[in-house]
Amino acid sequence: MEPLYEGKAKRLYTTDDPNVLRMEYKDEATAFNAEKKAEFANKGRLNTAITLAMYRMLETKGVETHLLSQIDEVNLLVKNVDILMVEVIVRNIAAGSFCKRMGVEEGIVFNQPIVEFSYKSDELGDPLINDDYARELDLATPDECAELKRKALIVNDVMIDFFKRAGLKLVDFKIEFGRTKDADAKIVLADEISPDTCRLWDIETGKKLDKDRFRQDLGGVMEAYEEVLKRVEGIS
């Protein structure tokens, strides 16, 4: 079957039910808007399992997601939602593009989290935007932007606490949201939550256990993802 949509790390397929899609996690990894590419055996399986555990944990805390069920090691069934073209990034500690843009050292701990929006466009390299851009480009209404920010901060609070119990510091993460197609169109968490989309540092040693191991050629990429899954499952 042809995918309905193919992204850098996942493929989406239709199912017999128009309200349901199959999301397949790939082994491919990209960084810096796909300038750098590689394939890692097991990445799809690890990110499926980590996303599943995170979504189930978030659902118990009242955060709605598009997750329906697991099919197998690399496939989840999800609600067919309209993905908002706004990516939401939350930062607790300075890293990555924040350091590059602002010329500061990695590791500065923020007093309060920073929430950023970017326009989901591979062609443009996901540029940073604000509420006004989102409104004028019809990406999200001002009310929706406020809702995205509010929901992202709740996800941050829940995940900081969860990862802390797993011995991990949640440095930053990117999440996406979708509008359900029901009459009462709700905004729910969609896409994935994995070491591809979160920066996670070991609380004791500071070791990076996320995609920065690939971005920065640190080695042991899948070993780090395995470690995250082990810890997440250990406390789930």
**Applying CB under 6 A, which residues contact ligand TMP?**
89, 95-98, 126, 172-174, 196-199
Residue 89 interacts with which of ligand TMP, ligand ASP, none, CB < 5 to 8 Å by class = ligand TMP
C-beta of residue 75 within 8 angstroms of C-beta of residue 12: no
Write the binding mask 26 to 65 for ligand ASP: x where contact by CB under 6 A, - elsewhere: ----xxxxx-------------------------------
198 by Cβ neighbours in 10 Å (0-12 / 13-18 / 19+) ranks as: buried
Residue 215 interacts with which of ligand TMP, ligand ASP, none, CB < 5 to 8 Å by class = ligand ASP
Residue 135 interacts with which of ligand TMP, ligand ASP, none, CB < 5 to 8 Å by class = none
Per rule CB under 6 A, is residue 215 in the interface with ligand ASP?
yes
Residue 199 interacts with which of ligand TMP, ligand ASP, none, CB < 5 to 8 Å by class = ligand TMP
Residue 198 interacts with which of ligand TMP, ligand ASP, none, CB < 5 to 8 Å by class = ligand TMP
Q: Which stretch, 24-32, 41-49, 109-117, 157-165, contacts ligand ASP (CB under 6 A)?
A: 24-32
Which residue, 32 or 110, has its beta carbon nearer to ligand ASP? 32
Per rule CB under 6 A, is residue 5 in the interface with ligand ASP?
no
CB of 33 to ligand ASP, least distance (A): 4
Which residue, 36 or 56, has its beta carbon nearer to ligand ASP? 36
CA dist., res. 47 & res. 109, Å (int): 27
- Token pair in block for residue 47: 């990110």
CB of 184 to ligand TMP, least distance (A): 29
- Token pair in block for residue 236: 């789930």
Which residue, 80 or 177, has its beta carbon nearer to ligand ASP? 177
Residues near ligand ASP (CB under 6 A): 8, 30-34, 211, 215
